[in-house]
Structure 1
Amino acid sequence: MVGELGASWGDVARVVVTTVGIYTALVVLIRVVGQRSLASMSGFDVGCVVALGAILGRTALLESPTLLIGVVALVTFFAMQGVLGVLRQDRRFDRLVNRPPVLLVDDGEVLTDALRRAHVSPDELRQRLRLAGVRRLDEVASVVLERNGAVSVLRRGSDVDPWILADVAAARGTRG
C-alpha cells in the first residue's frame, strides 16, 4: 500500500527522522533567540516566518514529496507538538525549553539590562505601554515580557499578589 502512494517504508522513516530533527532545531532556536521572536510580527517578521515554513516543509518532505510523504511529515509535526505539550507539564523540562517571563519595568522604572537581554527596544516598550493605555510611566507597577512574546502591563493601584510574579525572572539590572 505504501509503495502505491509514491513512497517506500524507508522514505517514510526518513521523513519522520528529518521532521523530528528540524522541529527540534526550531524549538532550540526559539529557546536561544528568546520569546521576543514570538511577539507580534512586523512585515519583515512575517516574511521570515514564511521562509522558515518553506525551509521546514522542504526539509521534512525530502526532495520529492508525495501525498504520503506530506501526510507523514504533517502527522510527525503534530505528534511532536503533542509530545512537547505533555513534556512541558514537567516543570524542569518546561524551563529547559521555554525562557521564563522577564521583568522589563519594575515599580515604574525601566530595567535597561533586561530590555537588552530580551531584545526589546525602548521604542517597542513605549509602543506596548501606549497600546495598554499608559500615559505616564509612574502609572506602571510592572511590565513583563511573557513566555509567548506578549507584553503584560500591571498598573499601580493595589498591591500585586507575589504569586502573580513568582515565575518572572527578576532581572533587576541597570535602571534607566
Structure 2
Amino acid sequence: MRDAFLVLFGEGRNLDPLQMGLRSIAVFLIALTLIRLSGRRSFGQRSPFDSVVVILLGATLSRAIVGASPFIATTVASVVIVLAHRLLAWACMRSPALERLVGGVEREVFSDGKFNAREMDAALITVTDVHESVRQKTGSRSMDNVAAAILERNGEVSVIRKKD
C-alpha cells in the first residue's frame, strides 16, 4: 500500500508531472472537504478573522502539492487550522467580548450630516474613502441623501440613505 502511494504521489521535492498532477487533484478534493467543514462563514463573510483561514489553507495545502512538506502532515495541519477556526467561531458566538476582540466592531463614520473624526481616526479611514463608498453605493457625489455611513467589521462601508 505504501509503495503504491509513493509511486502515485511521490515523496519529497522530486516529483514528476504525473505525481504533482495527482497531488493537485487530491489537494483539491481535500480543500473542498475542508471548506465544507469550515462552513460558509469562512468563504462568505470575508472578515479578517475568516480570511486568515483562507490564507493559511492556501499556503499550507500548496506545500503538499509541490512536495515542500510531507503530504499527510500538511493535510493534518490544514484540518487543525479549520478546526481551530470553527472552535474560535463557536467561542465568539458565546462571548461578545471575544467576538469584539477577534472580529472587531462597526464604526459610524458619518451621521447627521457630519463626519465622526474620532471613529475615522480609530479605523484609519479618510473622508475620501467614505465619499468613494457613497458614490459606489448611491451613484451620487452628494452626501445630501446619506443618513449614515458605517464602517463594517469586514472593512466595507455601508451607506444608509435618508428617508424621503
> Does TM, normalized by the shorter one, top 0.5?
yes
Q: Which has the larger radius of gyration?
A: 2
- TM-score, structure 2 length as denominator? 0.56
Who is 2:17 aligned against? none
Structure 2: 5+ residue stretches without partners: 12-46
Identity of aligned residues (%): 25
1:142 Cα shift? Answer: 0.8
Q: CA deviation at 1:135?
A: 3.4
**Counterpart residue number, 1:120:** 125
Q: Distance in 1 between matches of 2:131 and 2:144?
A: 13
Aligned residues: 113
Q: Secondary structure at the match of 2:93?
A: coil
Query: For structure 1, which runs of at least 5 residues remain unmatched after alignment?
Result: 7-36, 39-48, 159-176
**Would the alpha carbon gap of residues 76 and 54 (structure 1) be closer, same or farther in structure 2, given more than 3 Å must change?**
closer
Paired with 2:56 and 2:89, the residues of 1 have a C-alpha distance of 21
Quote the residue 1:145 is aligned against.
151
Between the aligned partners of 2:97 and 2:118, the Cα distance in structure 1 is 26
SS of residue in 1 equivalent to 2:158: strand
Classify 1:88/1:154 alpha carbon distance in 2 versus 1 (closer, same or farther; 3 Å): same
Find the partner of 2:163 among 148, 151, 157: 157
Secondary structure at the aligned position of 2:108 is classed as strand
- Secondary structure in 1 matching 2:144: helix
Q: How much has 1:151 moved relative to structure 2?
A: 1.1
Larger mean Cα displacement after TM superposition, 134-143 or 81-90: 134-143
Does structure 1 retain, via aligned residues, the 8 Å contact 2:110–2:150?
yes
User: Which residue pairs with 2:104 in the alignment?
Assistant: 99
Greater Cα offset, 89-98 or 137-146: 89-98
> Given that residues 57 and 78 in structure 2 are in contact (C-alpha distance below 8 angstroms), is that contact kept between their aligned partners in structure 1?
no
Aligned-residue offset at 1:57: 3.7
> Mean Cα displacement is larger for which, 87-96 or 76-85?
87-96
- Which secondary structure state, in structure 2, belongs to the residue aligned with residue 137 of structure 1? coil
1:83-138 superposed Cα distances (whole Å, 9 cap, x missing partner): 11211112232122222100100112111222121011222211111001143212
CA distances 1:133-174 after superposition (whole Å, capped 9, x unpaired): 14321211111011111111111116xxxxxxxxxxxxxxxx
**Segments of 4+ moved more than 2 angstroms:** 52-58
TM-score by length of 1: 0.53
More helix by share: 2
CA distance in 2, matches of 1:66, 1:93: 35
Q: Find the aligned partners of 1:145 and 1:117 in 2 and give their Cα distance.
A: 11
- Asked if residue 111 in structure 1 is aligned to residue 116 in structure 2, the reply is yes
